[in-house]
Amino acid sequence: MANAPPIVRGDAGIAEAVEALRAGKLIGMPTETVYGLAADASNPNAVARVFAAKGRPSFNPLISHVGSLDTALVEGQLDERAVRLAERFWPGPLTLVVPIGETTRSCELARAGLETIGLRMPRHSVAHALLNAFGGPLSAPSANLSGQLSPTRAEDVTRAFGEEVTAVVDGGPCRAGIESTIVSALPDDELRILRPGAISREQLELIIGPLGDAQPGAVSAPGQLPSHYAPNARLRMDASDIAENEVLLGFGPDTPEGAANLSAAGDMIEAAANLYRLLRALDTEGVETIAVMPIPETGLGEAINDRLRRAAAPREIGR
Ligand code: TXA
Ligand code: MG
C-alpha cells in the first residue's frame, strides 16, 4: 500500500509509539498471539479510528490491554474466579470479560456501549514495555482489515495499512500465532469460553474446573461471525486429497512430501503458531481453494478448527 507505516524498534521505537498513542494516533503492537492495532482506550476519537482503519462493519467491543493487575482492577471488577485465572495465566493469552469498574477509563465506544469489558495482559516483552510506558489501557483488535487473516509479523501489518497507522513496533514473529482465549467471568453466571484461543480448555479447566460455552446469539462480534479470519481463496477442511486449483495445507507426519505442513510432528502449539502464516503464504493468485488436512479437536485443535471453520464458511457477497 502507498505510504505504508514505518516499522520501529527498541526503546526509541517504544518512545515514538507512546507519543503517537498520547496524540490519539494508531500504532501496530506486537503481542504473543497476533499483532494488535492499538489506540488509547480512553480516547473515543482514537478508538473510532481503529474501527475505521479496520473497516469493521459495526462497533464491536475491543479488548483493553493492560500492563499490570492494578490497571486491570481500575478497568474492571474481577471476582475471585477471575483473579484466580489472572494470577495463573497473566501475563499471557487470556482475555477476561468482566463487569466494568466504576473507575474504568476505557471509553464507551471501546466497549461498544456494554457494561462489561474484555481485559488482557499480554506476555510479549515489547507489549509489556509499551503498556507500562503508556500507563493506561490500550484498545487493540488484531491489526488486519475486518474479516481478513490476523497478522503474525510486523510486515503483515505494514502491508495492510497506510498513513492511518503511525508506526508498527516490531516484536518479531508472534509465538502463539492465534488469538487469546476469551473467558467471561460475570456475576450470577458460570465461567464461559466465548472464543477458544491460545490457552486450551484443558489448561483452564485444570485451574478452575468445568467451563461453559458462549450462549448462542449472546454477543455478535466479528470473531463470532460465521465467516471470519478468511484468506481470499476458499477453504476446505478435512481434505484427504486435492483437486485442480487447490493447494494442500497438511498436518502431521502423513502430509505428502513438499506440501505446506502446520506441524510435521502433529504438535498443536506449533500448528497454531504456523496457522495464519501458512494460510497467507498459500493464499496466492490462481489458487482457488486451500484444502486443509484433518486436525484433531484436542488442546489448541479446538481454536485452530474454530478459525478454519469460519474461514471455510460461506461468505457474504461484497465482504
Ligand atoms: O489475542 C488477542 O486477543 C488479540 C491481540 C491483539 O491481543 N486481540 C484480538 O482482538 O483478537 P479482536 O478485537 O480481534 O477480538 C476481540 C474479541 C471480539 O470479537 C469480542 O467478541 C470480544 O473480544 N470481546 C471484547 N469485549 C467483550 C465483551 N465486553 N463481551 C464479550 N466479548 C467481548
Ligand atoms: Mg480479529
Mutation test of ligand 1: which of 130, 179, 193, 310 has the most ligand atoms closer than 8 Å to its C-beta?
179
Ligand index nearest the alpha carbon of residue 59: 1
Residue-level pLDDT at 220 = 44
Ligand 1 contacts CB of residue 63 (under 6 A): yes
Residue-level pLDDT at 313 = 87
pLDDT in tens, 102-150: 999 999 889 887 889 999 999 999 999 999 999 999 999 999 998 899 9
Of 164, 179, 37, the closest CA to residue 110 belongs to 37
Distance CA 149, CA 34 (A): 10
Residue ranges with CB less than 5 Å from ion ligand 2:
142
Q: Which amino acid is at 17?
A: A
Is 151 in contact with 4 (CB distance < 8 Å)? Answer: no
User: How many alpha carbons lie under 13 Å from residue 227 in its C-beta half-sphere?
Assistant: 14
Mutation test of ligand 1: which of 31, 32, 62 has the most ligand atoms closer than 8 Å to its C-beta?
62
**Ligand 1 atom with least separation from CA of 36:** 6
Ligand 1 contacts CB of residue 60 (under 6 A): yes
- Does 91 sit behind a cis peptide bond, omega within 30 degrees of 0 on the bond before it? yes
CA of 4 to the centre of ligand 1 (A): 25
Residue-level pLDDT at 318 = 39
Q: Assign 227 a pLDDT band (cuts: 50, 70, 90).
A: low
Ligand index nearest the alpha carbon of residue 197: 1
Ligand 1 contacts CB of residue 62 (under 6 A): yes
Task: Report the pLDDT averaged over residues 248-260.
Answer: 96
Task: Report the pLDDT averaged over residues 224-241.
Answer: 82
DSSP conformation letters of 178-211: SPPEEEE--TTS--EEEE--SS-HHHHHHHH---
CA of 194 to the centre of ligand 2 (A): 14
Residue-level pLDDT at 250 = 98
pLDDT in tens, 210-226: 999 998 766 545 555 56
Residue-level pLDDT at 299 = 84
Q: What is the mean pLDDT of the chain?
A: 91
Ligand 1 contacts CB of residue 18 (under 6 A): no
Q: Assign 196 a pLDDT band (cuts: 50, 70, 90).
A: very high
Distance CA 3, CA 15 (A): 21
Answer whether residue 317 shows pLDDT above 80.
no
Ligand index nearest the alpha carbon of residue 195: 1
CA of 144 to the centre of ligand 1 (A): 13
Residue-level pLDDT at 88 = 98
Ligand 1 contacts CB of residue 61 (under 6 A): yes
Ligand 1 contacts CB of residue 182 (under 6 A): yes
Ligand index nearest the alpha carbon of residue 36: 1
CA of 215 to the centre of ligand 1 (A): 16
235 in helix, strand or coil? strand
